């Protein structure tokens, strides 16, 4: 079961990173790209530390690894809330 779900997650989330970088490139102007890609990289680094820390803390406090893994839903929910409010680049008027 672990191998199957690991493969499923790898196949699903692999393209997400590539598409998120191209989405960022289309969403910002060339003058602002350095700043926004810096924030993008910082958010990735912070999440790679904070998510395992939260999972470990909840697992240790509750004694349930299932409850600890459910904490990942918090990170996905925050990401979804931020992304839902982000305008899609194709919906913006073209810069002339």
Which range (10-24, 45-59, 79-93) has the least confidence?
A: 79-93
pLDDT score of 56: 94
The answer to whether 74 and 54 are in contact (CB under 8 A) is yes
0.85 surpassed by pTM:
no
> Residue 92 corresponds to which tokens in the numbers above?
């913006």
d(CA 85, CA 96): 25
Q: pLDDT for 29-74, tens place per residue?
A: 888 888 989 998 898 888 888 889 999 999 999 999 899 888 888 8
SS3 85: coil
């Amino acid at each position: 079961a672990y191998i199957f779900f690991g493969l499923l997650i790898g196949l699903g989330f692999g393209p997400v990173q590539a598409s998120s970088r191209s989405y960022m490139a289309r969403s910002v102007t060339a003058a602002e790209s350095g700043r926004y890609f810096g924030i993008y990289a910082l958010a990735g680094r912070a999440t790679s530390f904070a998510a395992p820390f939260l999972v470990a803390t909840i697992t240790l406090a509750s004694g349930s690894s299932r409850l600890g893994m459910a904490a990942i839903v918090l990170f996905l929910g925050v990401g979804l809330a931020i992304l839902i409010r982000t305008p899609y680049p194709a919906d913006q008027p073209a810069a002339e």
